[in-house]
A and B are shown apart, each in its own frame.
Chain A
Amino acid sequence: MDQFTLNLLIVGATFALYIGIAIWARAGSTAEFYAAGQGVPPVMNGMATGADWMSAASFISMAGLIAFGGYDTSAYLMGWTGGYVLLAMLLAPYLRKFGKFTVPEFIGDRFYSKTARLVAVICLIVASVTYVIGQMTGVGVAFSRFLEVDKATGLYIGAAIVFAYAVLGGMKGITYTQVAQYVVLIIAYTIPAVFISLQLTGNPLPPLGLFSDAKSSGQPLLTTLEQLVTDLGFKSYLTQSDTTLNMFLFTVSLMIGTAGLPHVIVRFFTVPKVADARSSAGWALVFIALLYLTAPAVAAMARLNLINTVYPQGAAAAPISYEARPEWMKNWEVTGLLKFEDKNGDGLINYVGAKDANELTVNNDIMVLANPEIADLPGWVIALVAAGGLAAALSTAAGLLLAISSAISHDLIKGQLNPGISEKGELLAARISMAVAIAVATYLGLNPPGFAAQTVALAFGLAASSIFPALMMGIFSKRINNKGAVAGMLAGLTITVVYIFLHKGWFFVPGTNSFTDADPLLLSIKSTSFGAVGALVNFVVAYFVSNASAEPPKHVQDLVESIRVPKGAGAATGH
C-alpha cells in the first residue's frame, strides 16, 4: 500500500472515531452534558483540556522552532506550561465559584459595566482570531503534505474541514470526543519520538534520550549536535543568542497569555467543585507535559537527523548530491515548504549557516511531520503523525471558533445589541460569525505573520495584555473599578496591537510594517514578547484610573468577597 492511501486510511479512521463517539455520547447524555459537565472527573477534564489547549502550534510547529532555534526557544516550553500554575492559583478556582460560562460575563459583572463586557468581547475576538490564523497555517501544512498538494490548496481544504467540523458544534463540546483526540495526538507525537530516541541513543524515553549519549559518536547527543551546527556555521544550539530581556518578556507573555485565553479558562467553569478547578489545572498540565517533555527531544533529534541526512560522512565531508536526495525531500518539495537552490552549481546540497551559501531551505513547521520520514520509520507511523497534527489543529480551531461565536452571539448581540433575539437568531449569528472568522483567518493564513507557533505567540501576547490583568485585578483587588478596568484593557490591548502591527504589518498585510523583529522599535523587544509590556501598561493604567475615581459599589465588593471562598458554589449557570 502506498503512503498516500495509508495516510487517507488512518486520518479517515480517526475522524470516524471522533464522529462515532460524538453520536454515542449524544444519544445517551445530552442533558448531562449541558448540566455543566458534571460527573466528568478532573482527570478526564484534564485530558480534554489538553486536547483543547494543544494546537497546531504545540504539535506541528513548536518542536520545529526549537530544532532551529535551540536554547533561545525554551520560552515556548516554559511559557506554555508555566501559565497553568497561574491559572490554578490566580484564576480558575475563583472564576469557578463565580459560576457563569463566559469570560466577558465575569468582567461585565465584576466591573458592573456593559462597556467593560464589550471591551472584553473585543479583546477576546482579537486574540482568538489571531490564534486561528496560526491554526490555519498548521492545518495548511498538514493537509498539503498528506494530500500531496501545494500549501495554498492544503489551506483551502483545511479551512473547509474546520468549518464543517466547527459548525457541527456539539461535537467539540463533548468531553469524550476530546479525550479521544488527546489520545490520538499524544500517541502520534510520542511513538515516533520513542523510535527515534531508540535509534539515536538506545534510550526508549525521549526526555531521557535527549540528555544521553548518541550511539553514533559515543558523546552526549547535545554535544554531538552542537558540534555539527557550529561546524556548519549555524547559530549555537546550546548557548543564548537572544537578549535576556527579550527571552524573559517572551516567557512572561506566553505564561500570562495562557492564563488569559478564554477557551482554556471556560473549561474550569464546568467542573463540579472549586477544589476540582485547582486539581483539573494540574491534570491538564500532566497531559500537556507528556508532549512538552517530549518536544525538546523531538527537536534536537530531528535536527541531528536532518544534518546527518545531508552530511552522511560528517560535517567535514561533502554533502549528498541533489540527485541522491531521499524520498521525503521530494515529497516536501511538492508543498513548496522545502526548497533547494543550487547556488554554486555543483549539484550538491550545501546546507550551511551562511545565508548566501546555503542551498537548502526547510520551513520550521514541517519538522515534526517530516521527522518520521527523515528517520525512515514505517509508513503507518508517518500517517499517524498526520492524524495527530490534524487532531491538534482541529480541536483547538473548533474550540476557538466556538469562543468567538459565543462572544459575538451571546455576549455582544444578546447581551447588548438585541436582548430579545430568538434562540434561532442567536444560533444563526453564531454560525455567521464563525464563517467570517474562518474566512479572515484563511486569507491571512495564506501569508501568515510567522510560523504557526509564532502567530499563536502573538495571540498569547494579546490575551496577556488585555484579559489576564482584568481578571486578576477583578479577583485580587476590591478597589479596581469599572473605569479603571476599561481604561486598563483598552490601553493594554491598543499598545500591544499597535506594536505588533508596526512589526508584522497592519492587519498582518505583508509590507506595511515599519520595523522588523530583527531590529525592533523598543530595545530588543520583539513583537511576540510585547504582551508582557502591554500587561504592565494595563495594570498601571487600571490602578491609577481606579484610584482617581469612586470605589466600586457594595454589592460588587461583596461579590469579590464571595468568589474568594469555595463554600456555596452552585452549578455553573447563565447560558
Chain B
Amino acid sequence: MADNSSSNAYWAANIKTIKIFLVIWFVCSFGFGILLRPMLSGIGVGGTDLGFWFAQQGSIIVFLILIFAYAAKMNKLDREHGVEE
C-alpha cells in the first residue's frame, strides 16, 4: 500500500468524485424522471413530455455515461496518486 497520507488524499478525491456523480445520477433518474417531472411537462418529446423520456430512456443513457466517466476519472486518480496496479 502507498503511504498513508497519499492514500488518504486519494480516498478523499474518490469520495468527492462519487458525491458529484451520485448527484447527477439522482437528478437524472429520481429528479427528472419522477420528482421534477411536473416541472418539465411543458417540454414535449414525441407525443409525451421530457420527464417521461428521462424515466423510460434518458436516465439509462446517463447511467452509461456516468460509469465510463467514473472509470476514466478513477484511472487518472490511480496514476496521480501512484496507487494503480
* Chain A residues engaging chain B, CB cutoff 8 angstroms: 71, 74, 77-78, 81-82, 84-85, 88-90, 93, 207, 210-212, 219-224, 226, 238, 240, 244, 247-248, 251-252, 273-275, 278-279, 281-282, 285-286, 289, 292-293, 296, 561-562, 564-569
The answer to whether A222 and B47 have CB atoms under 8 Å apart is yes
| Bound CA span A93–B18, Å | 13
Known A-B contacts A89-B21, A248-B35, A561-B1; A282 and B60 likewise in contact (beta carbons under 8 Å): no
Q: Point out the residue from B1, B55, B82 that lies within 8 Å of A78, measured CB to CB.
A: B55
The answer to whether B1 and A565 have CB atoms under 8 Å apart is yes
The answer to whether B63 and A568 have CB atoms under 8 Å apart is no
Q: CB-nearest residue of chain B relative to A281?
A: B67
The answer to whether B71 and A282 have CB atoms under 8 Å apart is yes
Residues on A with beta carbons closer than 8 Å to the beta carbon of B66: 85
Residues on B with beta carbons closer than 8 Å to the beta carbon of A562: 1
Give the total number of A-B pairs whose CB atoms are below 8 A apart.
Answer: 144
Q: CB-nearest residue of chain B relative to A562?
A: B1
| Bound CA span A226–B48, Å | 10
Residues on A with beta carbons closer than 8 Å to the beta carbon of B71: 88, 275, 278-279, 282
| Bound CA span A247–B30, Å | 9
18 A-B pairs with CB atoms under 8 Å apart are A71-B55, A71-B56, A74-B52, A77-B59, A78-B59, A81-B59, A82-B29, A211-B47, A220-B46, A220-B47, A221-B46, A222-B52, A275-B78, A275-B85, A293-B57, A293-B60, A561-B1, A566-B84
| Bound CA span A84–B63, Å | 8
- CB-based closest 5 A-B pairs: A220-B47, A211-B46, A222-B47, A74-B55, A282-B67
Q: CB-nearest residue of chain A relative to B37?
A: A240
> Which B2-17 residues sit within 8 Å CB-CB of chain A?
2, 4, 7, 10-11, 14
SS of B interface (majority): helix
Task: Give the residue among A78, A222, A278, A286 with the most B Cβ atoms within 10 A.
Answer: A78
Q: A77-B55, A85-B63, A279-B68 are in contact. List 14 more A-B contacts (CB 8 A).
A: A71-B55, A81-B59, A82-B29, A82-B59, A222-B48, A222-B52, A251-B29, A251-B30, A275-B71, A278-B74, A279-B71, A286-B64, A564-B14, A565-B7
Q: Whole-angstrom distance from the CB of B10 to the nearest CB of chain A?
A: 6
> Which B34-77 residues sit within 8 Å CB-CB of chain A?
34-35, 37, 45-49, 52-53, 55-57, 59-61, 63-64, 66-68, 70-71, 74-75
The answer to whether B18 and A90 have CB atoms under 8 Å apart is yes
Residues on A with beta carbons closer than 8 Å to the beta carbon of B82: 567
The answer to whether B52 and A568 have CB atoms under 8 Å apart is no
| Bound CA span A244–B29, Å | 13
Q: Point out the residue from A85, A223, A292 that lies within 8 Å of B67, measured CB to CB.
A: A85
The answer to whether B47 and A82 have CB atoms under 8 Å apart is no
Q: CB-nearest residue of chain B relative to A286?
A: B64
Residues on B with beta carbons closer than 8 Å to the beta carbon of A207: 57
Task: Give the residue among B53, B61, B84, B85 with the most A Cβ atoms within 10 A.
Answer: B85
The answer to whether A569 and B60 have CB atoms under 8 Å apart is no
Q: Point out the residue from A90, A238, A293, A561 that lies within 8 Å of B52, measured CB to CB.
A: A238
The answer to whether A564 and B7 have CB atoms under 8 Å apart is yes
* Chain B residues engaging chain A, CB cutoff 8 angstroms: 1-2, 4, 7, 10-11, 14, 18, 21-22, 25, 29-30, 33-35, 37, 45-49, 52-53, 55-57, 59-61, 63-64, 66-68, 70-71, 74-75, 78, 82-85
The answer to whether B60 and A77 have CB atoms under 8 Å apart is yes
| Bound CA span A81–B30, Å | 13
The answer to whether A226 and B57 have CB atoms under 8 Å apart is no
Q: CB-nearest residue of chain A relative to B29?
A: A78
Residues on B with beta carbons closer than 8 Å to the beta carbon of A275: 71, 74-75, 78, 84-85
| Bound CA span A219–B46, Å | 9
Task: Give the residue among B11, B46, B60, B66 with the most A Cβ atoms within 10 A.
Answer: B60
| Bound CA span A397–B14, Å | 36
Q: CB-nearest residue of chain B relative to A227?
A: B47
Q: Whole-angstrom distance from the CB of A272 to the nearest CB of chain B?
A: 9
Q: CB-nearest residue of chain A relative to B15?
A: A476
Q: Point out the residue from A78, A252, A282 that lies within 8 Å of B68, measured CB to CB.
A: A282
Task: Give the residue among A84, A296, A565 with the most B Cβ atoms within 10 A.
Answer: A565
The answer to whether B85 and A89 have CB atoms under 8 Å apart is no
| Bound CA span A293–B63, Å | 12
Residues on B with beta carbons closer than 8 Å to the beta carbon of A71: 52, 55-56
| Bound CA span A562–B4, Å | 10
Known A-B contacts A211-B53, A221-B46, A293-B60; A567 and B25 likewise in contact (beta carbons under 8 Å): no
The answer to whether B70 and A89 have CB atoms under 8 Å apart is yes
The answer to whether B85 and A274 have CB atoms under 8 Å apart is yes
The answer to whether A221 and B7 have CB atoms under 8 Å apart is no
The answer to whether B34 and A222 have CB atoms under 8 Å apart is no
Q: Point out the residue from B22, B45, B47 that lies within 8 Å of A226, measured CB to CB.
A: B47
Q: Whole-angstrom distance from the CB of B80 to the nearest CB of chain A?
A: 13
Q: Whole-angstrom distance from the CB of A535 to the nearest CB of chain B?
A: 15
| Bound CA span A74–B30, Å | 11
